[in-house]
Structure 1
């Protein structure tokens, strides 16, 4: 469980990274919309795991690798934005947030179950 301090710092990082990607994201990923879905910070606030979601991209794993290749530059920009709020700028590691994929998969399963249930109810009625 994250402490209030970790949660507050994660919120600051998420806000600032969102602004960075909104203003300068086209330099890293042209024609791709990046959403920061979640940020997890270590107890010492030195490491931040940033979970991303993408719109308008074909290969998400390649896109995450591209963002990770620019992690140092993004960290520098983050540091210039939060320098008065934090002593240490955390090391950033970017991950794919696959929550949407999981939700779509579960929706398909539920639709299939619902369809099978309707078919079995119709057969029993006949």
Structure 2
């Protein structure tokens, strides 16, 4: 049996989960305090909902959503512009060999929840559920 075969198809490791949560908290704090030297980014209220790391912890995918879900493209652009400064803030608070490369994406979870809620409220689905 291969050494890492128990990880194939499995979810993230405990280390990935711990590191992801630490990165999430660090970024949320930095953005909340306005520690970035970019007034455009500091004017935005951005929620960091989740961070998923690659198995080698070198890439961190950061799921974000601006307050109210508006200005998504501007928020991603501002985060990408300040990626170096945000990465330094993360590495300063962590004891990792490498500071992970941060990749910012919009968290679509709330949109999917709204779509699911609308689907369950449709007459067709209500009728099918009653049968």
Which band: TM-score by shorter chain?
0.7 to 0.9
Q: Are residues 1:80 and 2:80 paired? A: no
Match of 1:40 among 41, 46, 52: 52
Structure 2: how far apart are the matches of 1:115 and 1:94? 35
Structure 2: how far apart are the matches of 1:61 and 1:109? 27
Once the two structures are superposed, the pairs formed by residues 53-92 of structure 1 within 5 Å of their partners are 53-56=65-68, 58-82=70-94, 85-92=95-102
Q: Are residues 1:13 and 2:32 paired? A: no
* Unaligned 5+ runs, structure 1: 122-126
The match for 2:64 is: 52
Cα-Cα RMSD:
2.4
Larger radius of gyration: 1
Structure 2: how far apart are the matches of 1:115 and 1:46? 44
Runs of 4+ that moved beyond 4 A: 114-117
* Unaligned 5+ runs, structure 2: 1-10
* Residues 28 and 76 of structure 1, relative CA distance in 2, 3 Å threshold: farther
Q: Are residues 1:29 and 2:41 paired? A: yes
* Residues 57 and 115 of structure 1, relative CA distance in 2, 3 Å threshold: closer
Once the two structures are superposed, the pairs formed by residues 105-120 of structure 1 within 5 Å of their partners are 105-113=115-123, 117=127
TM-score (norm 1): 0.78
How much has 1:37 moved relative to structure 2?
A: 1.0
